[in-house]
Amino acid sequence: MSDSFETHVFGAPGSFHAGKGDINNIFMPSSTLGAPPRKKPADELWWLRRRFVEPAGLGEAREILKASHTVFIDGAPGSGRVAAAQILLQDIQDDAGQLHQLVPQEEENVPRIDHTHVGDGELVWLDLSALTGPRWEEVHAELSSLRATVQKRDAYLAVILPDKAATLDPTLAPYRARIERPAVAEVLARYLQVEKIDRPTPLPPLRFLATARRMEDVPAYVDLIRRARDEHREGDFTMWSETAFTAWSGQAQDVAEQMAALVTGQERALLITVAMLHEAHADVVYRASAALLDRAEHPPEDLPLLEHAFLDKRLHEIGARLDDSGTVQFAKLDYDAAVRSYFWTHMPGLHDTLRDWVVSTVDSPDLSPLERKNLVERFTAQCLLHERYGQVLASLLNQLTALPTTGRKMEAAAQVLQRGLRDEKQGRFFRRQIYNWSRISNLSSQIAELIIVACRDEMMVKYPAEALVRLHHLARRETGTRARDTLVALVNDAPRLRRQMLARLTEATFEPGKFSSDITLFMELADPEALTALGRRNHALVDEKTIRRQLTYGWSLVFAQLHYGTWAPFVRRWLTVAVEDDHHRDTLIDIIVHATSGDVILLSRFYEMTRTTPSLIPLSTLISQRFGTFSHSQ
C-alpha cells in the first residue's frame, strides 16, 4: 500500500488543517478525553455467558472446534451466531485476553485475511455473515491457508458464514456446523432471571413474543421491563411487561397526535428540549429551550417575564413533569425516544439547527457531566439511523474541535467518535474516516488526540489491527511522540501486534525508511527481551525465519540513516540480552552482524562496544568471529 493519498476529511473543512504552516492548537491530554475504556473482553464474556442459552447444534460445533481448531458456523440471521462463536472459543480456554476478532482487509492488492493477526494460542473469530458475491469468493479462497496458520500457531478459529447459503470448499465442509435459533421465550426468561425481575413461571403470553424476534431484540425489551419496574414498584410483571411493550412499539402515533395539538414554537421547542435533555434539571431544560428558540430564529414571546406561564404548567401541557429533585421527565416510559425519532423524521429542516444547538449546549457549565453525556449520545444516535446523516456528525465534529475549543467540547467530540465506532452498521464508516485523518500531514492536535483515544480505548477492543495501522500513520506525521508512545505501549501487550508492526516497518509494501519516525519506532519495537520471550508453545518470535529477515532489514535501515549516538543504546541493550540468553545468543548476533552488510566501520564499533562495556566483554570474541565468517562469505 502506497503512502501517497488525497486528502478527504468527511467532505468538510473546519479544524482539519491539511496544508503547510504552523497551527496554533491547544493540547488536550488524551487521558482526559472521552469515557473510560470499554469493559475488558473478560467482563463482556462474563455478561454474555450469564445470559446465553445454548442453541441446538452447538454441541457438534464444540466437538469440531476442539478436534480441528476450526469451526464454520452456519445459521439463520438473528440466531446468535456471533455469541455462539465467542462462547465456543471461551470454552476452549478461559483466557479472554487471548480472544479477539479478525476483520477482512479492505485495501486493494493485499490478502483479505492477514495471518499475522493470529497469535500463538489465540482464540479468534471471523464474522463473514454480511459478505456476498466477489468479496465472499475472495475471502473463501483464503480460508484453507488461514486454517493452516491457525493450526501451526496452536490457535482456535470460529468463522460465521454468510447469511445466505455459502458453498464451502469440499476440504472445509467437514468443519461446518449449523446452529438453530433458541426459543426467544427461553432467552427472555434467562435475561429476566439475571436482572432479578420477578415473573411467573412459565412466562404468560406476551405481545412481545407474538411475532418473530431477533436475539438482539431481547436485551432492549428486558431493559424496558426493568425501567418500568423501577418506576412502578407497586405493579406486577404483567403491568411492567405491558408498559415496556407500549414503549417498545414506538409510541409514534401518540407523538403525532400530540404534535397536532402543539401549535406554538415555544411548546414544540420545550418538547424536543425535554426529549434531548430527559431527566436533566429544570434549570438546564428551561435555558436550553430558550436557546433552541433563539437558534431557530423564533421571535421571542411578547409578554413581560412575570406574565409568562409557569414551567410546571408548560411541562404538564407536553406530558412531562418535575420530580422531587427538580429533574424533568415524561410521564410515559421511553416517550423521550419517541419524540426524538418523530422530530428527526418529520422535521428534517431542524437537523442543522439541532446540531448547532448541541454544540453550544454541551459547552454550558450548567450541565452536569451525565446530562452532557446523555445529550451527545441522543443526538449521535439519531444521526446513526442512516448513513445519509454522516455529514451531520462530520459537521458536529468540526464545530466541536474548531479553535477556540474547550475541554467540554473535546469530551463531546470523543464521545461522538466512540459512539460511531461502536455502531454495528456505521462503525466501518467511522473507522475509514479515522484512517483518512491519520494520513493527513499537519493534522490539528485536537483531531490527533481524538484518534489516539479512539484507537487506544475503543478500536483496540474489537479491531486491534486496524487501530495499529491508524496509530502508525499518525505517528509517521506527528511532531511529538504521543501516537508513537501509545502504539509502543499497545504492542508491548501483545506479541501478534509486534509481528504486525515489524512487517509494516520493514516490508516493501509499506515503504520502509521513507519516514524517519519509522526508524526510531523500529528500534523501540525491536525489543530483544520481547522477541526472545517464550510463548505458549515454547516458541519465541525471533525463532521465526520471517521475523529474523525483517529484523535484519530493519537494523540495516537504522545503521544507514541514524548516527551512532542514536542507535548505540539500543544495540547495547540488544547485545546485553544476547549475553544473558544462551538459547538465542547466536541468532541475535547473526541478525545484528548481517544488518551491517559487511561495513567494517560498523563492525568495528560493535567490537569496541563489547570491549569497553564490562557486561559485554564475553561477546567480543564472538563478534570478531562473526565478522571474519561474514566477510569470508561475502
Q: What is the C-alpha end-to-end distance of the chain, expressed in Å?
A: 33
Can you give the pLDDT at residue 20?
Answer: 34
**Are 437 and 9 contacting, i.e. CB atoms less than 8 angstroms apart?**
yes
Give pLDDT tens digits for 518-530. Answer: 999 999 999 999 9
Split at pLDDT 50, 70, 90, the class of 164 is confident
Split at pLDDT 50, 70, 90, the class of 120 is confident
Cα distances from 450 to residues 24, 40, 416, 438, 447, in angstroms, run 17, 21, 10, 10, 5
On the question of a cis peptide bond just before residue 614, with omega within 30 degrees of 0, the verdict is: no
Distance from C-alpha of 441 to C-alpha of 443, rounded to nearest angstrom? 5
Distance from C-alpha of 140 to C-alpha of 128, rounded to nearest angstrom? 10
Give pLDDT tens digits for 571-611. Answer: 999 999 999 999 999 999 999 999 998 888 898 888 888 88
DSSP per residue, 24-80: ------GGGSSSPPPPPHHHHHHHHHHH--PPTTHHHHHHHHHHHSEEEEE--TTS-
DSSP state of 458: I
Contacts of 265 (CB under 8 A, 6+ apart): 293, 296, 298
Distance from C-alpha of 309 to C-alpha of 293, rounded to nearest angstrom? 16
Q: 228-232, 378-382, 414-418: lowest mean pLDDT where?
A: 228-232
Best CA proximity match to 69, nearest among 150, 128, 141, 126 = 150
Split at pLDDT 50, 70, 90, the class of 631 is very low
Query: How deeply is 421 buried, as exposed, middle or buried, from its count of CB atoms within 10 A (0-12, 13-18, 19+)?
Result: buried
Q: Which residue type occupies 397? A: L
SS3 category, 454: helix
Distance from C-alpha of 67 to C-alpha of 62, rounded to nearest angstrom? 9
| Angle formed by the axes of helices 351-362 and 369-383, nearest 10° | 160
Show the cell assigned to 459: 478500536
Distance from C-alpha of 215 to C-alpha of 44, rounded to nearest angstrom? 17
Distance from C-alpha of 235 to C-alpha of 231, rounded to nearest angstrom? 9
Phi-psi group of 6: left, alpha or beta (phi > 0 → left; psi -120 to 50 → alpha; rest → beta): beta
- The residues with which 472 forms a beta bridge, in sequence order, are none
**Are 123 and 66 contacting, i.e. CB atoms less than 8 angstroms apart?**
no
Distance from C-alpha of 175 to C-alpha of 173, rounded to nearest angstrom? 5
Contacts of 216 (CB under 8 A, 6+ apart): 78
Distance from C-alpha of 102 to C-alpha of 500, rounded to nearest angstrom? 13
Best CA proximity match to 476, nearest among 484, 468, 485 = 484
**Are 275 and 340 contacting, i.e. CB atoms less than 8 angstroms apart?**
yes
DSSP per residue, 270-317: HHHHHHHTTT-BHHHHHHHHHHHHHHTTPPPP-S-GGGSPPHHHHHHH
Contacts of 609 (CB under 8 A, 6+ apart): 568, 571, 572, 575, 616
Show the cell assigned to 270: 420545550
Q: 7-21, 173-187, 400-414, 508-522: lowest mean pLDDT where?
A: 7-21
Distance from C-alpha of 203 to C-alpha of 627, rounded to nearest angstrom? 80
Distance from C-alpha of 355 to C-alpha of 405, rounded to nearest angstrom? 16
How many Cβ atoms sit within 10 Å of the Cβ of residue 625? 12
Average pLDDT, the chain: 86
Mean pLDDT value across residues 335-361? 95
Can you give the pLDDT at residue 33?
Answer: 60
Best CA proximity match to 223, nearest among 249, 201, 244 = 244
Show the cell assigned to 249: 412499539
Does residue 119 surpass a pLDDT of 90? no
Give pLDDT tens digits for 463-474. Answer: 888 899 999 999
Mean pLDDT value across residues 225-252? 90
Can you give the pLDDT at residue 172?
Answer: 94
Give pLDDT tens digits for 293-325. Answer: 999 877 676 666 655 678 888 999 999 999 989
Phi-psi group of 319: left, alpha or beta (phi > 0 → left; psi -120 to 50 → alpha; rest → beta): left
Mean pLDDT value across residues 23-34? 45
Distance from C-alpha of 177 to C-alpha of 97, rounded to nearest angstrom? 26
DSSP per residue, 384-409: TTSGGGHHHHHHHHHHHHSSS--HHH
- Strands 70-74 and 156-160 turn out to be parallel
Which residue's C-alpha cell is 441446538?
56
Looking from the CA of 220 toward its CB, the CA atoms found within 13 Å total 13
Phi-psi group of 283: left, alpha or beta (phi > 0 → left; psi -120 to 50 → alpha; rest → beta): alpha
Show the cell assigned to 585: 545468543
Which residue's C-alpha cell is 445459521?
75
Mean pLDDT value across residues 240-244? 93
Helix (H) / strand (E) element for 157: namely: strand 156-160
Distance from C-alpha of 12 to C-alpha of 88, rounded to nearest angstrom? 44
